[in-house]
Amino acid sequence: MLILKRFTRAQILIAAVVVLGVAIASFLTIQANVARVQSIATGEQIEGSKTQLATALNATADTVSEARANQQAEAVLAEANQVIVAVQEKVDTTPLAASVASLASYASHDGDTVLALAASTQQTAAETQAAAVEADRLAAEAAAAAAAAAAEAQRVANTPDGARATARALAQSSYGWGEAQFSCLDKLWQKESGWSYTARNASSGATGIPQSLPGSKMASAGSDWATNASTQVKWGLDYIQRAYGSPCSAWSHSQSVNWY
């Protein structure tokens, strides 16, 4: 009985050791599994944090990009509106105004769309400015051509034949004097000045085609009396009408006393 009792205790001891070993192994396995689970959870949290961070960074980048696009839109709008004001009397600004209207709603568009609209508006503004420059060039050419034509017309009008043509036309249109009266006028002023608007009588100081004395009297017909034969003719016809009634009466008086 004593031997059996000891054997049983040995078995019990062995069994206890085995059980303890199994328990320890189980514990370690559980700990390992827990650690693994925790590691997986931690990794997922890290990945989640990375995703959230990336999302936040992308959102921030989008916000910054949109803000820059909006600033660009505002700058382009200001420039385009200045162009419209500056050139609206020279060229058609309708296309630029339409482009400005589209860009003005930039707040309702994404950054890429805003930048595209801004670029289009800038291009239209540049084209409009170029058209205005061309319009100025053409206007300057036209003005120069008109000035040259006016100068040539004045040059022709200041010649004796030009002055005669002016006198014939004014005599008929303003006083009803026909060719007979003009013939007398032609003889009278040919004698007085040779139909030269620069003629001057050295002894009396009488001036111009009608030999006004003094020449400044002709200022009543125009401030350009000293350089414009037509102004001198206009004054001379008025003088003849007031003083003699007609060119032939003035010519008759000149033939009698050598002046009129």
Please write down the long-range contacts of 76-81, taking CB distance under 8 Å and 24 or more positions apart.
76/103, 76/118, 76/121, 76/122, 76/125, 77/103, 77/104, 77/121, 79/122, 79/125, 80/121, 80/122, 80/124, 80/125
Q: Per the omega criterion (within 30 degrees of 0), is the bond before 160 cis?
A: no
pLDDT band at 45 (very low <50, low <70, confident <90, very high): low
Instruction: Flag whether pLDDT at 17 surpasses 60.
Output: no
**What would the two tokens of residue 34 be?**
């827990």
Instruction: Between 60 and 135, name the one with better pLDDT.
Output: 135
User: Which residue, of 96, 125, 157, is where some domain finishes?
Assistant: 157
For 242, what's the count of Cα atoms within 13 Å in the CB-facing half-sphere?
Answer: 6
Name the least confident of 9-18, 96-105, 133-142, 237-246: 9-18
Same domain, 120 and 168: no
Domain count of the fold of the chain = 3
The pLDDT value recorded for residue 110 is 94
Contact between 193 and 208 under an 8 Å Cβ cutoff? The reply is yes
Same domain, 165 and 138: no
Same domain, 149 and 200: no
Question: For 18-29, what is each residue's pLDDT tens digit?
Answer: 555 655 655 566
The pLDDT value recorded for residue 6 is 47
pLDDT band at 30 (very low <50, low <70, confident <90, very high): low
The pLDDT value recorded for residue 82 is 98
What is the average pLDDT score of the chain?
Answer: 87
The pLDDT value recorded for residue 64 is 66
Same domain, 183 and 142: no
CA distance 128 to 93: 7
Same domain, 152 and 235: no
CA distance 89 to 116: 28
Same domain, 23 and 88: no
Q: CA angle 186-192-193, nearest 5°?
A: 90
Instruction: Flag whether pLDDT at 1 surpasses 80.
Output: no
The pLDDT value recorded for residue 56 is 45
CA distance 119 to 77: 11
Same domain, 142 and 225: no
The pLDDT value recorded for residue 3 is 41
Question: For 190-209, what is each residue's pLDDT tens digit?
Answer: 999 999 999 999 999 999 99
Distance (Å) of CA 104 to CA 95, 129, 142, 169, 202: 14, 20, 38, 62, 76
CA distance 118 to 66: 13
The pLDDT value recorded for residue 210 is 99
The pLDDT value recorded for residue 102 is 97
Confirm whether 152 is domain-assigned. Answer: yes
Which range marks the domain in which residue 108 is found? 66-157
Instruction: Flag whether pLDDT at 71 surpasses 70.
Output: yes
User: Which residue, of 141, 157, 173, is where some domain finishes?
Assistant: 157
Distance of CA 61 to the CA centre of its chain: 36
The pLDDT value recorded for residue 39 is 54
CA distance 197 to 217: 14
